[in-house]
């Protein structure tokens, strides 16, 4: 490894790093801009948990460097504090405090005083979760249940609408987790987030596509499916594990209600048989269509439709976002089934328990009601 002399990055260079980070560049690519190894810049991001620190700005009420230089000139000329204050349009007490903090008449230097004021102005606020320990305990308890910070924040607003001491934004929760210097939430709680990382990363997604015979395009779905006006329209996909293991995930579009199905193999016969069996467990009114990605497992979709009378629509190639509810749910499921896990030995009873836990979590898009509550309303409406 080639030795490179240690350098200290300027604020302008750090700003460039954060700009590139927010655009999705890797740490290695960012380090390459400065002919450095990735370890040279990684600490800059880790100290802030991957969250860009706010740009510091001087208060409009603070003395400027130009005003401090005028104070210095006034002292050299022998003018009184009132005279100097009058020329600046400031109160005499402001000039008096400035001199008292910075060496008095004899030791005052404008540039040194300006730098000292900039350092004193840091005074970071104490994090709300540090001040409100009961609130921190509430947040930590929900994190251990695999709730996301956004779900926790929404639930708190709903449960305690008139008590601001029991409310906190999801951004504050994220920052307190990723910036450990705040000290309010333990680092171990990071393991309960959907993405098990030590700092925030720009989001990305993977794509896949297969040629499916006699596919019915998602563009042919009725309007009632698109606008989620009525229940009974589902999205599905396979959540993959190691050793050719997988789970079928199904999400109802209107209520976000989730069902998980154990699938022994990924071939289309096995998958379609499992989906048919699951479909017969629901009332016909609550299972009218299924939207799936263009994976090879759905190749025998015509048999599924003939057996269940449920229409199947396929996403455009490389467009998994067209079944966004299912993609979002699969992301939540990775908290319980992380990548690299062998899913072949996961029993259906365990899948049912995980689905129930997921369906009882409040969702922002549902006004922080849970999918279970909304789906129960649908079941009641059909008698």
Minimal CA–CA distance to 52: which of 210, 201, 263?
201
Please report, for the chain, the start and end positions of each structural domain, with discontinuous segments joined by +: 11-46, 65-120, 128-192, 218-381
Tokens of 364: 């922002």
For the stretch 218-258, pLDDT in tens is 888 888 888 888 899 999 999 999 888 999 999 999 999 99
313, burial (CB in 10 Å: exposed 0-12, middle 13-18, buried 19+): buried
For the stretch 106-150, pLDDT in tens is 899 999 999 888 888 776 667 788 788 888 888 888 888 888 888
Please report the pLDDT score of residue 317 as a whole number. 78
Query: Can you list the residues of the chain whose pLDDT is less than 50?
Result: 1, 204-209
For the stretch 155-176, pLDDT in tens is 999 999 988 888 988 888 887 7
Return d(Cα 191, Cα 145) in angstroms, integer.
Answer: 11
What are the distances in angstroms from CA 298 to CA 116, 233, 237?
A: 67, 17, 9
The angle at the Cα of 211, spanning 209 to 216, to the nearest 5 degrees, equals: 100
Return d(Cα 362, Cα 163) in angstroms, integer.
Answer: 19
Return d(Cα 196, Cα 194) in angstroms, integer.
Answer: 6
Please report the pLDDT score of residue 204 as a whole number. 41
Return d(Cα 331, Cα 319) in angstroms, integer.
Answer: 16
The secondary structure of the chain in percent helix, strand, coil, rounded to multiples of 5, reads 50, 10, 40
Return d(Cα 367, Cα 286) in angstroms, integer.
Answer: 22
The residues near 162 (Cβ < 8 Å, ≥ 6 apart) are none
Q: State phi, psi for 366 to the nearest 5 degrees.
A: -105, 20
Task: Indicate the length of the chain as a whole number.
Answer: 383
Q: Which fold has domain 218-381?
A: Nucleotidyltransferase; domain 5 (3.30.420)
Number of neighbours of residue 323 by Cβ within 10 angstroms:
25
Please report the pLDDT score of residue 207 as a whole number. 39
């Amino acid at each position: 490894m080639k030795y490179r002399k240690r350098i200290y990055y300027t604020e302008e260079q750090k700003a460039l790093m954060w700009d590139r980070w927010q655009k999705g560049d890797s740490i290695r690519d960012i380090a390459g801009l400065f002919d450095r190894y990735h370890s040279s810049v990684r600490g800059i991001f880790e100290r802030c948990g991957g969250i860009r620190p706010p740009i510091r700005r001087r208060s409009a009420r603070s003395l400027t460097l130009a005003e401090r230089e005028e104070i210095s000139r006034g002292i050299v000329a022998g003018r009184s504090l009132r005279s100097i204050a009058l020329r600046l349009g400031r109160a005499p007490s402001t000039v008096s405090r400035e001199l008292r903090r910075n060496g008095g008449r004899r030791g005052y230097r404008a540039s040194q005083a300006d730098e000292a004021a900039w350092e004193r102005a840091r005074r970071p606020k104490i994090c709300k979760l540090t001040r409100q320990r009961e609130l921190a305990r509430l947040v930590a308890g929900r994190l251990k249940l695999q709730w996301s910070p956004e779900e926790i924040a929404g639930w708190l607003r709903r449960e305690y609408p008139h008590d601001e001491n029991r409310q906190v934004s999801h951004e504050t929760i994220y920052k307190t987790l990723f910036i450990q210097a705040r000290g309010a939430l333990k680092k171990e709680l990071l393991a309960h987030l959907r993405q098990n990382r030590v700092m925030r990363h720009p989001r990305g997604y993977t794509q896949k596509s297969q040629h499916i015979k006699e596919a019915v395009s998602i563009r042919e779905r009725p309007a009632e499916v698109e606008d989620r006006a009525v229940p009974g329209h589902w999205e599905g996909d396979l959540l993959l594990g190691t050793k050719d293991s997988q789970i079928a995930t199904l999400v109802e579009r209107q209520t976000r209600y989730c069902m998980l199905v154990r699938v022994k193999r990924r071939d289309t016969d096995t998958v379609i048989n499992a989906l048919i069996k699951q479909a017969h467990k629901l009332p016909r009114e609550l299972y009218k269509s299924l939207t799936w990605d263009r994976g090879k497992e759905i190749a025998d979709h015509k048999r599924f439709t003939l057996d269940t009378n449920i229409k199947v629509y396929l996403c455009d190639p490389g467009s998994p976002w067209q079944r966004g509810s299912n993609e979002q749910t699969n992301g939540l499921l990775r908290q319980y089934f992380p990548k690299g896990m062998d899913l072949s030995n996961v029993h259906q009873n365990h899948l049912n328990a995980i689905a129930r836990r997921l369906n009882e979590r409040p969702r922002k898009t549902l006004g922080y009601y849970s999918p279970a509550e909304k789906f129960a309303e649908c079941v009641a409406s059909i008698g």
